[in-house]
């Protein structure tokens, strides 16, 4: 038990090193209204009709498809349905069945996936952005570009997987303020892991006024939002792994509760948390999906 606690402390130190990398500035935290039951990750009841974009160009994918880019340590798979990350496999880590470890939670709705674009307060536009088929182009140097456009919405996402566990993301949206999701939950823990007191459930973590703010999924009852300066980050972590997005310009941290119904009526439902960053126009960010290893986080923080 003492070894487990010591190891957990070292991993927490790793997240602190990541925080030093992104360099937080003072910020004030505010809360928004309680989310409407049944809305996947959109916290308000009203959903206004999407505005018409003047001079919009129609850009759409022809069929649903998966595209994979990979390096020595990770394999990332994207769907053009919502232009989201459906799988991020760590090739040098394994799960309880000795398979390469999957960090993306297996949820069916694309609006729960990493890199989904949401419009809090506008359920119709969120459904459009996360359900649309994007045109996809695979470029050099492990780069993917997704584009979707019609008279209601225009979205472009460029993703470049670097070396290690980092990738760069640029999301441009013609429309209202949007949120780019870092994910909902983390990994696919077994029943034994969920019941173990030594395994920390996926928890929200972000830079706040004087340090790191952590919110357990079971404690999150309404949307939380606070200003996030350039260099701040938003993430989902457990004992050993972290998914985080660090915008390169001022943005806002957002977290949403996500109660996951149990497939077995006798089983205890999972309380999950969704998190991301909100911006307008273009969001340029660095994303980390990987182990909370001190050396790896130090190496990630040392790159520009």
Asked whether residue 196 carries a pLDDT value surpassing 90, the answer given is no
Question: Would you state the pLDDT for residue 245?
Answer: 96
Q: Specify which residues 275 forms β-bridges with.
A: 183, 255
What's the pLDDT tens digit per position in 75-96?
999 999 999 999 999 999 988 8
Q: Which domain holds residue 115?
A: 2-301
Name which of 2-6, 184-188, 251-255, 267-271 the model is least confident about: 2-6
Which one has a higher pLDDT value, 261 or 105? Answer: 105
Question: Would you state the pLDDT for residue 44?
Answer: 35
Among residues 203, 188, 41, the alpha carbon closest in space to that of 111 is found at: 41
The mean per-residue pLDDT over the stretch 122-137 comes to 95
Question: Would you state the pLDDT for residue 211?
Answer: 81
User: Strand 143-149 to strand 212-216: parallel, antiparallel, or no bridges (unpaired)?
Assistant: unpaired
Asked whether residue 269 carries a pLDDT value surpassing 50, the answer given is yes
Question: Would you state the pLDDT for residue 190?
Answer: 82
Q: Would you say 87 and 74 are in contact if contact means Cβ atoms under 8 Å apart?
A: no
CATH of the domain at 177: 2.70.98.90
Question: Would you state the pLDDT for residue 99?
Answer: 87
**pLDDT band with cut points at 50, 70 and 90 for residue 193:** confident
Q: Which run of H or of E encompasses 35?
A: none
What's the pLDDT tens digit per position in 139-189?
988 999 999 999 999 999 999 999 899 999 999 999 899 999 999 999 988
Question: Would you state the pLDDT for residue 194?
Answer: 79
Question: Would you state the pLDDT for residue 175?
Answer: 85
Q: How far apart are CA 114 and CA 128, in angstroms?
A: 16
Half-sphere exposure of 179 (CA within 13 A, CB side): 32
Query: Which residue has tokens 């069916």?
Result: 108
**pLDDT band with cut points at 50, 70 and 90 for residue 65:** very high
Name which of 39-53, 72-86, 230-244, 287-301 the model is least confident about: 39-53
Question: Would you state the pLDDT for residue 300?
Answer: 66
Question: Would you state the pLDDT for residue 35?
Answer: 32
The mean per-residue pLDDT over the stretch 254-283 comes to 81
Name which of 125-134, 239-248, 286-295 the model is least confident about: 286-295
Question: Would you state the pLDDT for residue 191?
Answer: 78
Q: Would you say 243 and 186 are in contact if contact means Cβ atoms under 8 Å apart?
A: yes
Share of the chain above pLDDT 90, in %: 54
How far is Cα of residue 17 from the mean position of the Cα atoms in its chain? 20
How many separate domains does the chain show?
Answer: 1
Question: Would you state the pLDDT for residue 296?
Answer: 75
Asked whether residue 136 carries a pLDDT value surpassing 90, the answer given is yes
* Geometric angle at alpha carbon 252, from 88 and 256, rounded to 5°: 60
């Amino acid at each position: 038990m003492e070894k487990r606690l010591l190891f957990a402390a070292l991993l927490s130190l790793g997240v602190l090193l990541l925080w030093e990398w992104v360099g937080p500035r003072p910020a004030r935290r505010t809360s928004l209204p309680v989310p409407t039951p049944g809305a996947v990750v959109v916290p308000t009841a009203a959903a206004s009709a999407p505005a018409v974009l003047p001079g919009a160009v129609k850009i759409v994918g022809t069929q649903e498809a998966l595209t994979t880019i990979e390096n020595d340590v990770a394999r990332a798979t994207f769907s053009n349905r919502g232009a989201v990350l459906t799988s991020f496999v760590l090739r040098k880590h394994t799960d309880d069945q000795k398979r390469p470890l999957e960090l993306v939670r297996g949820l069916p709705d694309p609006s729960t996936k990493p890199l989904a674009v949401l419009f809090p307060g506008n359920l119709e536009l969120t459904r459009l952005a996360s359900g649309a088929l994007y045109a996809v182009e695979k470029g050099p140097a492990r780069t993917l570009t997704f584009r979707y456009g019609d008279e209601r919405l225009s979205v472009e996402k460029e993703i470049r997987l670097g070396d290690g566990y980092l990738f760069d993301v640029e999301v441009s949206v013609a429309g209202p303020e949007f949120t780019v999701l870092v994910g909902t939950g983390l990994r696919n823990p077994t029943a034994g892991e969920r019941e173990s007191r030594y395994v920390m459930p996926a928890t929200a973590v972000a830079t706040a006024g004087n340090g790191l703010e952590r919110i357990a999924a079971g404690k999150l009852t309404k949307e939380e939002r606070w200003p996030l300066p350039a260099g701040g980050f938003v993430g989902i972590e457990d004992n050993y792994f972290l998914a985080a997005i660090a915008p390169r310009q001022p943005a806002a941290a957002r977290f949403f509760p996500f109660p996951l119904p149990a497939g077995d009526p006798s089983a205890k439902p999972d309380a999950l948390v969704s998190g991301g960053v909100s911006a307008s126009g273009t969001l340029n960010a660095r994303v980390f999906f990987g182990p909370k290893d001190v050396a790896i986080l130090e190496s990630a923080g040392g790159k520009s």
